[in-house]
Homo-oligomer: A and B are copies of this chain.
Amino acid sequence: MGKVSPFAPSVYPDLPALAGVRLATAEAGIRYRGRTDLLLVVFDEAATVAGTFTKSRCASAPVDWDREKLAGGKARALVVNSGNANAFTGMKGRQAVEATVAAAVAATACEEDEVFLASTGVIGEPLDPAPFAAHLALLATKAEPGGFVDAARAIMTTDTFPKVATRRVVTDGGEVVINGIAKGSGMIAPDMATMLAFIFTDAAIGQPALRSALSDAVAETFNAITVDSDTSTSDTVLAFANGKSAEGGATVLDADADALAAFRAALSEICRDLAHQIVRDGEGVSKFVEVQVTGAETDASARRVALSIANSPLVKTAFAGADANWGRVVMAVGKAGEPADRDRLAIWFGPHRVAVEGMRDPDYSEDAVSAYMQNAELMLRVDIGLGRGQATIWTCDLTADYVAINADYRS
């Protein structure tokens, strides 16, 4: 797809191997040639699992499967393919899921209910799972601890770089590690993208605590980014905890353990890191933008205003043009339909206040703001002036490259 994001990292962090978590990838030839497109993760002993999924009414077949199997709360295998989303594929989609699960069960000697799946790529094309049986059998034998960057690479679609993050957390029972991988480039370009993230930890943690920690982390990270306002059929975040931390055996993190606070913080950091990487690899991206809304009546209201700004094509094209076009920001506040008083609005680009009390700030310097807008990373703040509600959303600009990538893809 040509151009690599200007935000692609030059080096990747070193993700430690996790005891009892083995990974392997293969070139299954699902759609792409000359690259890996199939990932198997094996948990030698069952890991606790929690997940969050797309809100789409047209969710993919793998999302349906995972939602149902989360009730069991245990995972022995994770299978992810890129190239085909197995979405909007009807009965054939369900059959492909069943065949993939059967292949994973045979390869890893686990139960059906312990297999989790994700697929990302083209919508509406039947996914042929026939090659999976042989590939998964081989991958199960060659899977090894570590290899997270290779895993992140195998699940890419329009992504221009693999997305990984890692943190260590010190607990009373010793140190635990959390590793995460993700993919996504259109926040959601469902035709070939989708947001997937997988978190692995050697902490021992019960499902309710893991679920709670994951939900809270996702709300402020993966659910606070937007590239193009389009929601995938396949968005999936899964977290696996196998209790195999190297030091002193299992470190049990209950919902009320003090250690859980540190774990939650680290999990949120990983999710934020990965979420930002997705925006930094947004299709056609040239600017990374943090949109802060303060002074709204409630946090929920602030969030809706921030999303209205971050999703506005006119605001996004202004960023692409390095144009501090606060008139369009006013428009986006106005169209959000949230409580707002035109004559109390204030707007900043970075440190520069450009509008105050419903009109242009008489003191602002167009030259200084224009110079600021040349930066690759930008901050936009809007104060509504009504209350204490606030929210932050991260987004990127809308460029001609975004149009080129998406006007050309399928044909």
The answer to whether A357 and B313 have CB atoms under 8 Å apart is no
- Selected from B228, B339, B357, B407, the residue in CB contact (under 8 A) with A320 is B407
Interface of A is mostly: loop
Q: Does A205 contact B (CB under 8 A)?
A: no
Identify which of A6-14, A109-117, A246-254, A340-348 touches chain B.
Answer: A340-348
With a CB–CB cut-off of 8 A, which chain B residues contact A216? none
Q: Tell me the minimal C-beta distance from A333 to chain B in angstroms.
A: 6
Across the two chains, which residue of chain B brings its CB closest to A333? B58
Oligomeric state, in copies:
2
The answer to whether B406 and A190 have CB atoms under 8 Å apart is no
A338 to B57, CA, bound (A): 8
The answer to whether A334 and B56 have CB atoms under 8 Å apart is yes
Across the two chains, which residue of chain B brings its CB closest to A373? B411
- Selected from B57, B125, B190, the residue in CB contact (under 8 A) with A337 is B57
The answer to whether A92 and B57 have CB atoms under 8 Å apart is no
The answer to whether A124 and B340 have CB atoms under 8 Å apart is no
Identify which of A16-24, A147-155, A229-237 touches chain B.
Answer: A229-237
The answer to whether B190 and A327 have CB atoms under 8 Å apart is yes
Q: Tell me the minimal C-beta distance from A157 to chain B in angstroms.
A: 13
With a CB–CB cut-off of 8 A, which chain B residues contact A300? none
- Selected from B59, B124, B317, B345, the residue in CB contact (under 8 A) with A355 is B124
With a CB–CB cut-off of 8 A, which chain B residues contact A190? 314, 327-328, 330-331
With a CB–CB cut-off of 8 A, which chain B residues contact A87? 327, 330
With a CB–CB cut-off of 8 A, which chain B residues contact A355? 88, 124
From 33 to 72 in chain A, residues with beta carbon under 8 angstroms from any chain B beta carbon are 54-59
A302 to B87, CA, bound (A): 22
Q: Does A90 contact B (CB under 8 A)?
A: yes
Across the two chains, which residue of chain B brings its CB closest to A343? B90
The answer to whether B410 and A231 have CB atoms under 8 Å apart is no
Q: Tell me the minimal C-beta distance from A269 to chain B in angstroms.
A: 28
Q: Does A322 contact B (CB under 8 A)?
A: yes
Q: Does A31 contact B (CB under 8 A)?
A: no
Known contacts: A331-B58, A360-B125. The answer to whether A313 contacts B314 by CB under 8 A is: no
The answer to whether B410 and A314 have CB atoms under 8 Å apart is no
With a CB–CB cut-off of 8 A, which chain B residues contact A92? 359
With a CB–CB cut-off of 8 A, which chain B residues contact A411? 321-323, 370
**CB-CB contacts of A341-385 with B at 8 A, as 1s and 0s?**
111010000000001011110000000001000000000000000
Q: Does A176 contact B (CB under 8 A)?
A: no
